[in-house]
């Protein structure tokens, strides 16, 4: 999806956000959509902690990981039904993280252009952002199903920036998953890790800035896009 925001003027930079675990907490709705498929096999539903640990690489990968966690294998039919079920009701329990809307408005006020690069199905991402009232803040939303390969593939992030019309300005990727950090590195841009989300940096610790709170983002983004001093 392209060009929702309407602000003019030169951009200070492009702030490209992941969605699940960064802007929204969608784990409960995703887990609930998979519960019927697990129940039909006599398998226990996922706890919220289990669900959050499996997120980050799209709905289908999530479903496969969940069945593996229950020592089973999901069929393609079950997978398709899960995705369809989730797309029908993607926002029953899904909420913005506290401080998201205020932080996005602050960034736009400072001259940042905003975009979303998510491994979620694009139509679902657009629907959720619209229902939560923040879709107009973004220049583009690029889902994992509308690109040849999704994060950590650099083509996904590069396409998001292209759709937003922001290739001429410095960009920073913000996300809660190692895939976000890896995609940024592959594109040659800095990343800020969202510590409040689902993921953990693991072996990538020390490779990027870390935001403990959403309110930390404006300062971290300014620092990330600032020219590095000569060695």
Q: Are 179 and 61 in contact (CB under 8 A)?
A: no
Which of 18, 25, 29, 180 is catalytic? The answer is 18
Calpha distance 37→161 (Å, rounded): 36
Are residues 12 and 6 in contact, defined by beta-carbon separation less than 8 angstroms?
no
β-strand 112-117 against 140-142: which pairing, if any?
Answer: parallel
Strands 171-175 and 24-25: unpaired
SS3 210: strand
Q: What are phi and psi of 116, to 5 degrees?
A: -120, 130
Half-sphere exposure of 122 (CA within 13 A, CB side): 16
Provide φ and ψ at 174, rounded to 5°.
Answer: -120, 120
Q: How many angstroms separate the CA atoms of 172 and 224, rounded?
A: 7
Q: Is 92 a catalytic residue?
A: no
Catalytic residues: 18
């Amino acid at each position: 999806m392209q060009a929702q925001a309407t602000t003019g003027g030169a951009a200070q930079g492009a702030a490209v956000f992941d969605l699940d675990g960064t802007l929204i907490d969608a784990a409960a709705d995703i887990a609930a959509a998979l519960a019927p498929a697990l129940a039909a096999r006599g398998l226990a539903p996922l706890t919220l902690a289990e669900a959050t640990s499996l997120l980050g690489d799209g709905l289908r990968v999530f479903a496969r990981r969940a069945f593996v966690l229950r020592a089973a294998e999901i069929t393609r039919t079950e997978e398709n039904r899960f995705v369809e079920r989730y797309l029908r009701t993607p926002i029953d329990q899904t909420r913005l993280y506290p401080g998201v809307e205020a932080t996005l408005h602050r960034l736009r006020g400072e001259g940042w252009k905003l975009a979303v690069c998510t491994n979620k199905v694009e139509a679902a991402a657009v629907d959720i952002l619209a229902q939560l009232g923040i879709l107009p803040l973004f220049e583009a939303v690029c889902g994992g199903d509308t690109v040849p390969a999704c994060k950590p593939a650099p083509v996904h992030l590069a396409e998001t920036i292209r759709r937003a019309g922001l290739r001429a300005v410095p960009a920073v990727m913000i996300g809660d998953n190692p895939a976000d950090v890896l995609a940024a590195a592959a594109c040659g841009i800095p990343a800020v890790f969202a510590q409040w989300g689902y993921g953990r940096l693991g072996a990538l610790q020390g490779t990027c800035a870390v935001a403990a709170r959403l309110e930390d983002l404006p300062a971290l983004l300014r620092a990330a896009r600032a020219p590095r001093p000569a060695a």
